[in-house]
Structure 1
Amino acid sequence: MIQRLLIGLSLLGGVFAASVHAQEAVAHFGAQGATRSITLRTTTDIAVLAPTMRDFLANRPDLSLRYEQWGSNDLYALTELDCKTGRPGADIVISSGVHQMVKLVNDGCAVSWVSPETQALPDRLRWRDQVWGISREPAVIVYNRNLVPPEDVPDSRFDLLDLLRPEGSRYGGRVATYDIAASGLGFLFAFMDSQEASTFGALMEAFARSGAVATCCSAEIIGGVATGDYLIAYNVLGSYAMQAARSDQRLGIVAPADYTLVLSRAAILPGTEANHDAGDLLDFILSESGQRSMAKVHLASAPSAPLPGADREEDDSRWRLIELGPTLLVAMDQMKTAGFLARWRAAIGE
């Protein structure tokens, strides 16, 4: 239930130095006999980024790559711990919890890298030459095409509120979103909503009153919509939703008409000295070839472009790019986080 969203939210200010971190999966890319190796730690599903890793290594037979997949909070905690001990365990870190990556840069946990590819990024997607936005991914509403009639498809947050407002709504207990205590990305989207939207308080109250479901991750949420366990999912990462919708006609996607948040996954090079192979990987990802590779899995859609697989073309004015920079430190400040938690509790009547 939505109350799960409250548990542990106050921990998001940085009390993550637990001794156990839950690595989700590991994969290896490149030739077995390669003389050099780099480690990538990321929140991105292996299957999603694997084609780009293979493209990067295609002309580098002497290089291999260890790919570690992590949840965003655990990845932040581990990278922070590596920084404190002075022993970085990864050569490059890429996370959807971009506020966490900005905090690591602010704390001196990353090294600079300057190249034509990084300099080509707009100012909004690079900070201190130590954190870079590598993707363009909208936060969308996903719905079940077979179970949600066309007149009920929520085109905006206002429409979603209208669906949940009636007593005994058929959407009660059938709307899902991220558990923001467990998901750094979910927390970021909720926090940005609280800064952006006049509907935030009303929507959270409606979620609580209607028994919305909070769960851990994109795949679980999207799969639940496809099977009909959930009818609608809110603030889902659009890249994963569009990838799933390629092969599952039950999934419909909407970019909210009032505004649509756009995430750019953040990359950093941890430690005090850059690994040049890791810098080359960053440059490849940002290059035309790398972006073309990532576009195949919807990671590199430009904010101004129509959403592939969406129901209709979108107006450019709705896009709200989450900028990388010191403003995101507010989302990592313990006092601000506590205030956000208090407002969240007030919104749902606790």
Structure 2
Amino acid sequence: MRYFFALVFCVLPLTGWAQDWEDRQVFGNGAAPALRIISSTDTSFFAPVIESYLAQRTGQSVEYLVTSTAQLDRIFRADPGAFDLVISSAMDLQFKLANDGFARTLDGVTHPDWAQWRQSLFAFTTEPATIVINREAFANRRLPETRQDLIEALRADPERFAGRLGTYDVRQSGLGFLFATQDARTSETYWRLMEVMGAMGTKLFCCSGGMIDDVASGEIAVAYNVLGSYASARRDITDKIKVILPADFQTTMMRTAFVSRDTKQPVAATSFVQHLIALQASTTANDDIALPHLDHANATEGQVTIALEPALMTYLDALKKQTFLKEWVNAVIQ
């Protein structure tokens, strides 16, 4: 049963200024003040989690606000007291927020050491970056299994793929920046691929959803570093797209959550984190929840899971970030 009673696409007054949200929904009809969650996760993915939480708490409501990973970081830093929970796929930005003291330490939350940081930042999914291709564009052609395969396919037929490639604009997307920096740390093949894609006039996107839609329509033939969970969930277009886990290595992020240090509802916010962890750790099948489980023990060969550790902040250093972005621009925007 769905509990939300309001769907608003609007300009919402917040922290003294107007904010355009990608989405805003209110779930539940409790008398208590709504638990406010700022998140980068699409509402369609997260709504079942909220609904399962509210099913056990009839007096509670949840206000769910969606924005990009980079915007989320800026908005929350400006007024941490305006939100109770923060959920994002940009592990590096989340880690820095926790390291900077914006996250509340939670007692009594049981979670593996590799999936949490100082009882304040908690991972609850593992999700790989993927290559998504248009099936028709690769009809009667060998599908690329690695980044090097993709480079060779693009070089072999530049007329077919020119202007029909896509990836994140890492200058704007926090998740895109995370995937790019981790790829670059893992293999030099990343830079060779970016140079080839850049020479072919690659289109840049803010988010995975736009890339997936354009691949499905045929507007682009290949999208690189698409969030696998979003692509795999699009069952309506499985006949048009193919999701590829690169065989050379799979950059895998963990979606994380934390309770704001300035939350006005510490008990309810903590209980939501506990529910989220329990739900994602459960082995019981739940077809309504599209978010992948947190799965470390069954990592596939070649999977490179980004660790929750201080090294995440390396490329957030102003000078290192500036240097990386300059190299990226030189490669991709030629």
- Structure 1 and Structure 2 fold alike (TM over 0.5): yes
Q: What residue number does 2:49 align with?
A: 52
Match of 1:282 among 257, 273, 283: 273
Q: What residue number does 1:71 align with?
A: 68
Q: Could you tell me how far apart the structure 2 residues matched to 1:261 and 1:289 are?
A: 20
Report the CA distance between 1:134 and its aligned residue.
1.1
Listed as ranges, the matches of 1:32-181 within 5 Å are: 32-83=29-80, 88-115=81-108, 118-121=109-112, 123-149=113-139, 151-166=141-156, 168-181=158-171
Distance 1:301 1:233, change over 3 A: farther
Find the residue that maps to 1:287 and give its secondary structure: helix
**Does the CA-based 8 Å contact 2:86-2:259 persist in structure 1?**
yes
Q: What residue number does 1:12 align with?
A: none
Report the CA distance between 1:168 and its aligned residue.
3.2
Q: What residue number does 2:233 align with?
A: 243
**Does the CA-based 8 Å contact 1:304-1:316 persist in structure 2?**
no
Report the CA distance between 1:34 and its aligned residue.
2.8
**Does the CA-based 8 Å contact 1:294-1:300 persist in structure 2?**
no
**Does the CA-based 8 Å contact 2:281-2:294 persist in structure 1?**
no
Q: Which amino acid aligns with 2:268?
A: D
Report the CA distance between 1:218 and its aligned residue.
1.3
Distance 1:295 1:336, change over 3 A: farther
Find the residue that maps to 2:137 and give its secondary structure: coil
Match of 2:181 among 172, 175, 191: 191
Structure 1 unaligned blocks of 5 or more: 1-18, 306-314
Report the CA distance between 1:296 and its aligned residue.
3.5
Report the CA distance between 1:124 and its aligned residue.
2.5
Distance 1:283 1:246, change over 3 A: farther
Q: Could you tell me how far apart the structure 2 residues matched to 1:71 and 1:346 are?
A: 25
Q: Could you tell me how far apart the structure 2 residues matched to 1:171 and 1:316 are?
A: 30
Using the aligned pairs only, state the percent identity: 30
What is the CA RMSD across the aligned residues, in angstroms? 2.4
Match of 1:23 among 7, 12, 21: 21
**Does the CA-based 8 Å contact 1:303-1:319 persist in structure 2?**
no
Structure 2 unaligned blocks of 5 or more: 1-16
TM-score by length of 1: 0.84
Q: Deviations over 1:196-218 (max 9, x none)?
A: 11202211111111111111111
Q: Could you tell me how far apart the structure 2 residues matched to 1:113 and 1:349 are?
A: 44
Q: What residue number does 1:8 align with?
A: none
Distance 1:210 1:300, change over 3 A: same
Report the CA distance between 1:178 and its aligned residue.
1.1
Find the residue that maps to 1:28 and give its secondary structure: strand
Find the residue that maps to 1:151 and give its secondary structure: coil
Match of 2:191 among 201, 209, 217: 201
Q: Which amino acid aligns with 2:310?
A: P
Q: Could you tell me how far apart the structure 1 residues matched to 2:280 and 2:234 are?
A: 23
Report the CA distance between 1:271 and its aligned residue.
1.9
Q: What residue number does 1:344 align with?
A: 328
Deviation larger for 131-140 or 293-302 = 293-302
**Does the CA-based 8 Å contact 1:222-1:241 persist in structure 2?**
yes
Report the CA distance between 1:142 and its aligned residue.
0.8
Q: Deviations over 1:282-328 (max 9, x none)?
A: 111110467555883143263565xxxxxxxxx82211111112111
Q: Which amino acid aligns with 1:285?
A: L
Q: Could you tell me how far apart the structure 2 residues matched to 1:28 and 1:345 are?
A: 40
TM-score by length of 2: 0.87
Aligned length: 317
1:316 maps onto 2:309 in alignment: no
